[in-house]
Amino acid sequence: MPKLEDVAKLAQVSKTTVSRVLNRRGYLSQATIEKVYWAMEQLDYHPNVVARQLYNNKTNLIGILLPTVADPFFGELSFELERQLYEQGFKVLIGNSMNDPQKEANYLDQLLIKQVDGLIVGTHNQGLKQYHRQQLPVVAIDRIVNEDIPVIASDNYRGGWLATEYLVQQGVTHIIHTNGPHDLATPAKQRRTAYEEVMQKANLTPVTYELDFNISPTQKQQIFRRIFVEHPKVEAIFASNDTDAILIQQVAGELGRKVPADLLLVGYDGTKMIRNLDPQLTTVVQPIEKMAQLAVKILQQRLHKQATETQYLLPVKLHQGQTGSKLKTRD
């Protein structure tokens, strides 16, 4: 294999000059640069990338750790993150934690071994020691990891308010909400807070069913069937995500409840995939592309040791499909 000194000899320059060309350091004439690259091509020389990374203390690798890319929201988010990071010159390593603390810790150890330059995380677990490495830039999306890590989120409170207020305006009074565990540290809890406040403002009784993120669709369907058994007069359901909303619609159909004639339904996330598959679903749309763009921007600032805020909120909007109203609606 050709070595750096072979390139220097053929180009008739010093090894230091070849190194400066490869690392783009200092002033070099265009003629010198062209000679070095000509010699590299003639010898089929490829720089030792690992050595250069160690020399520059930079790998151009970003770790992305999410609960699961099988979920439409996190799948679309990972796509946008990878696309935008690639445009910035980074490559990514993606892990699915499934909200398992041990699996998340193992992934973090592996990512750190790979010497990633930074992390973008959307996982639920707090208190992992890997997140307290002060020299590692980390940005969280829609999750609270620790107080030192900035959080990128859509306006969950506004989203919960829009969804609940819209249902109240339809004239229904028995509205149920589904959400994650109350003790889960995530901005998504604000959807529940807004739901309860809108309900109380309208002198209605809020009822929330909590669902663990890791349970199977079959287990979720069992909980959704309980809703109809325990609340036979339910008129509307505000689901915390679109996949749950679709499962609820299936369960309602099995029980003879037609949407929207017998049950109004609002979801959350508004991913492109769900809106293409079920355009009639009324849902709160998160700006996933903008969330990814902002996460990459903030990570770049952290990489360059620039000051960042604790939290960044992006606006949401309500897509008014037919499932949320007995009248024909539109955006």
What's the average model confidence in pLDDT over 117-131?
A: 73
CATH of domain 156-287+317-324: 3.40.50.2300
What's the average model confidence in pLDDT over 6-22?
A: 90
CATH of domain 4-54: 1.10.260.40
Q: Would the CATH topology of 61-154+288-314 be identical to that of 156-287+317-324?
A: yes
Q: What is the C-alpha to C-alpha distance for residues 98 and 123, in angstroms, rounded to an integer?
A: 8
What pLDDT, in 10s, does the model give residues 34-82?
A: 999 999 889 988 776 555 554 555 778 898 988 888 889 999 999 999 9
Least confident of 86-90, 236-240, 247-251: 86-90
Q: How many CA atoms lie within 13 A of 140 on its CB side?
A: 22
Contacts of 74 (CB under 8 A, 6+ apart): 66, 67, 68, 122
φ/ψ region of 305 (left if φ > 0, alpha if ψ in -120 to 50, else beta) reads left
Locate the domains of the chain by residue range.
4-54, 61-154+288-314, 156-287+317-324
Query: In the predicted model, what is the mean pLDDT of the chain?
Result: 88
Is pLDDT of 267 > 70?
yes
For residue 72, which of 212, 272, 265 has the smallest C-alpha distance? 272
Give the amino acid at 235.
Answer: E
What pLDDT, in 10s, does the model give residues 161-197?
A: 999 999 999 999 999 999 988 877 788 899 999 999 9
Q: What is the C-alpha to C-alpha distance for residues 104 and 110, in angstroms, rounded to an integer?
A: 10
Q: Band of the pLDDT at 126, cuts 50, 70, 90? A: low
What's the average model confidence in pLDDT over 102-120?
A: 76
What's the average model confidence in pLDDT over 108-123?
A: 79
Q: Which CATH architecture has domain 61-154+288-314?
A: 3-Layer(aba) Sandwich (3.40)
pLDDT above 90 as % of the chain: 62
Residue 99: its pLDDT value, please? 66
Both tokens assigned to 289: 């592309």
Q: Band of the pLDDT at 330, cuts 50, 70, 90? A: very low
Rounded to two decimals, the pTM is 0.80
Is pLDDT of 329 > 50?
no
Going across the sheet that includes 282-285, the strands are: 207-210, 175-179, 236-238, 264-269, 282-285, 317-319
What pLDDT, in 10s, does the model give residues 270-314?
A: 999 999 999 999 999 999 999 999 999 999 999 998 999 999 999
Residue 51: its pLDDT value, please? 54
